[in-house]
């Protein structure tokens, strides 16, 4: 019977080995000319480093009990095997020889043994949240089950709007105030709950639906962080209490048709006029922009393009609510000596992630009062920095969104596999199905635990690199988990009436927004690793 006891100390040795390989490769890349000259290896290095950090978090989880140790060992073994496929044939670029993996060989063999993985099927492991956070999880899970899931399929299939009762219900639960400090009407107390509560709530809402539940609090969170870092006291008091209750909802308008990953290049302009600024230009992919009351807009306040990211500032742009199908607003100048403003929003139809709706926004002389420049005069030229502060939080939240979608897909696959009889047996009895389900559960628990760890790090003012790592890693994992969950459903996985088909298309967006996977890997993770080498 090949069911070895989980060997956490060997797992720790394997994680040490993986970290050592990452460190060697980092130094080798510095010598070989850096990230841009070695993009392919640098990309793999960023993902390997993210996997190693996830493995490190799962080791801590493994000490909590027998099931936890088994799941942790299975994760570490798979992570090392994945690392091996990245390194094989490219050892010189990684700065290792072809025997680098030998010390971890016996551990990986034992914990990737198919019978070992199959025996773990159905063991998902507890989350180990403190009672306060367990209550948060239960509360949002119940809301997701009772208020979100019943609408999810209809909104997806009709490309409909998010029902208002979901938004008001979330407001009543305090979901929009999780990151807003108590002093400004929210629930953040300055401890680890500031991030962990948001992560737990987001996971549960995304389990309900990525499109109509899990993504609603992302945008107000991004704006909240930017205001906390860079807003004036007057601005914090003006917007944060109403963001905390959900009275004001926000959208983010950063991406432009010619500038997505390269945020520093955006060209939408803000030109000073009497009492404020005139916005001109086109933004794209601004999600939730119709329903939102506020747009967090990144615009160029310094017309000298050579200033790059130093010429950018963030504005909070007031706008009326508009219909999901698209909108056109005109601004009354009221006798002021300036041209009339115009703002048009055109929805972009998408494969999944429906309900939120994303828009191309055309601004023509749209007037924004001077009080709405975040930070007022001190905020001039600091927009890129403030936007990135907000995005770091958004990345952690996106990781939590991915964990929620994976959990939903896993549960659907597990339940379907138990009921579907093929060749005379339920497919859950077949080894291949069992190892797939185990690997899903292992990935979900490991990435969940890493997201908790990053939340705690960020609450203590650290964790910026880790927020990018967890986002990059878990969003790729979500593609695999939802793909396999769909596959376990056979033909019915491809039917719209089964939610797993929605999880599959929803998961696909996660590696694109909040930092496209390649950009995040190369420009943030690999770059930071090499800076520290």
Ligand X SMILES: Cc1cc2nc3c(=O)[nH]c(=O)nc-3n(C[C@H](O)[C@H](O)[C@H](O)COP(=O)(O)OP(=O)(O)OC[C@H]3O[C@@H](n4cnc5c(N)ncnc54)[C@H](O)[C@@H]3O)c2cc1C
Instruction: State the residues that interact with ligand X by CB under 6 A.
Output: 39, 252-255, 260-261, 285-287, 350, 353, 358, 509, 512-513, 516-519, 522
Cα–Cα dist 226/462, whole Å: 17
For ligand X, the closer of residues 204 and 514 by Cβ is: 514
Task: Give me the least distance between CB of 289 and ligand X, in Å please.
Answer: 8
**Which among 165, 514, 518, 531 is annotated as catalytic?**
514
Tokens of 89: 């044939």
User: Smallest gap, in angstroms, from Cβ of residue 257 to ligand X?
Assistant: 8
Tokens of 461: 């003012």
- Quick one: 286 or 453, whose CB is closer to ligand X? 286
Neighbours of 115 (CB within 10 A): 12
Helices (H), 334-382: none
DSSP state of 360: E
What's the closest the beta carbon of residue 358 comes to ligand X, in angstroms?
5
Query: Of 13 and 265, which has the nearer Cβ to ligand X?
Result: 265
Tokens of 292: 């939102």
**∠ CA 134-140-68 to the nearest 5 degrees?**
40
Closer CB to ligand X, 61 or 285, in the complex: 285
Report H helices in 126-279: 131-143, 149-158, 164-173, 193-208, 218-230, 233-245
Q: Which of 410, 415, 437, 416 is nearest to 507 (CA)?
A: 410
Q: Which residue is nearest to ligand X (CB)?
A: 260
| Closer residue to ligand X in complex, CB, 37/115 | 37
147, 172, 215, 331, 466 from 165: Cα distances, Å: 8, 10, 15, 30, 35
Judged by CB, which is closer to ligand X: 69, or 526? 526
Q: State the nearest-atom distance from the C-beta of 306 to ligand X, in Å.
A: 20
Find out whether 312 and 383 touch, Cβ atoms under 8 Å.
yes
Which residues on neighbouring strands pair with residue 466, listed in sequence order? none
**How many C-beta neighbours within 10 Å does residue 165 have?**
10
Q: Kindly list the distances between the CA atom of residue 385 and the CA atoms of 279, 307, 310, 429, in Å, as whole numbers in the listed order.
A: 20, 14, 9, 53
DSSP 3-state of 73: helix
Identify whether 514 is a catalytic site residue.
Answer: yes
Q: Among residues 54 and 350, whose Cβ is nearest to ligand X?
A: 350
Cα–Cα distances (Å) from 372 to 228, 275, 315, in that order, read 14, 11, 6
CA distance 46 to 29: 12
Least spacing, CB of residue 80 vs ligand X, in Å: 26
In eight-state DSSP terms, residue 274 is T
Minimum separation from the CB atom of position 175 to ligand X (A): 18
As a residue count, the chain comes to 533
From the CB of 290, what's the least distance to ligand X, in Å? 12
What are the residue numbers of the active site?
514
């Amino acid at each position: 019977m090949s069911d070895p006891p989980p060997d956490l100390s060997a797992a720790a040795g394997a994680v040490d080995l993986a970290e050592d390989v990452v460190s060697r490769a980092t130094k080798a890349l510095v010598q070989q000319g850096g990230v841009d000259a070695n993009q392919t290896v640098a990309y793999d290095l960023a993902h390997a480093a993210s996997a190693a950090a996830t493995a490190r978090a799962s080791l801590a989880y493994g000490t909590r009990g027998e099931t936890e140790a088994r799941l942790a060992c299975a994760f570490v073994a798979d992570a090392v095997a994945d690392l091996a496929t990245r390194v094989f044939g490219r050892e010189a670029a990684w700065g290792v020889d072809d025997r680098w993996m030998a010390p971890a060989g016996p551990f990986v063999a034992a914990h990737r043994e198919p019978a070992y993985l199959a025996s773990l099927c159905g063991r998902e492991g507890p989350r180990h949240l403190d009672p306060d956070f367990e209550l948060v999880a239960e509360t949002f899970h119940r809301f997701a089950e009772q208020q979100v899931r019943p609408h999810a399929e209809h909104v997806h299939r009709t490309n409909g709007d998010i029902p208002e009762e979901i938004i008001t219900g979330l407001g009543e639960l305090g979901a929009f105030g999780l990151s807003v400090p108590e002093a400004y009407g929210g629930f953040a107390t300055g401890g680890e709950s500031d991030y962990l509560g948001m992560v737990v709530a987001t996971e549960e809402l995304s389990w309900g639906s990525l499109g109509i539940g899990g993504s609603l609090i992302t945008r107000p969170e991004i704006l909240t962080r930017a205001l906390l870092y860079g807003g004036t006291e007057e601005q914090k008091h003006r917007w944060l209490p109403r963001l905390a209750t959900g009275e004001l909802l926000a959208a983010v308008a950063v991406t432009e048709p010619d500038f997505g990953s390269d945020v520093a290049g955006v060209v939408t302009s803000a030109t000073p006029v009497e009492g404020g600024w005139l916005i001109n230009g086109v933004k794209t992919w601004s999600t939730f922009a119709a329903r939102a009351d506020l747009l967090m807009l990144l615009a160029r306040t310094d017309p000298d393009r050579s200033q790059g990211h130093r010429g950018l500032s963030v504005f909070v742009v007031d706008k009326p609510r508009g219909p999901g199908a698209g909108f056109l607003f005109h601004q009354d100048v009221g006798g002021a000596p300036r041209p009339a403003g115009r703002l048009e929003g055109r929805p972009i139809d998408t494969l999944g992630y429906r309900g939120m709706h994303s828009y191309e926004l055309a601004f023509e002389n749209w007037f924004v009062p001077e009080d709405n420049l975040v930070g007022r005069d001190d905020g001039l030229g600091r927009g890129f920095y403030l936007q990135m502060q907000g995005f770091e939080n958004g990345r952690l939240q996106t990781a939590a969104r991915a964990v929620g979608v994976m959990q939903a897909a896993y549960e659907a696959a597990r339940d379907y596999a138990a009921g579907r009889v093929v060749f005379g047996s339920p497919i859950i009895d077949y080894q291949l199905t069992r190892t797939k389900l185990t690997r899903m559960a292992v990935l979900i628990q490991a990435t969940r635990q890493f997201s908790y760890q990053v939340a705690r790090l960020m609450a203590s003012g650290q964790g910026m690199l880790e927020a990018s790592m967890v986002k990059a890693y878990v969003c790729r994992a979500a593609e695999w988990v939802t793909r396999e969950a769909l596959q376990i459903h056979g033909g019915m996985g491809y039917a719209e009436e089964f939610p797993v088909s929605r999880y599959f298309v929803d998961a696909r967006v996660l590696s694109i927004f909040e930092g496209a996977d390649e950009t995040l890997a190369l420009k943030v993770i690999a770059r930071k690793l090499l800076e520290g080498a």
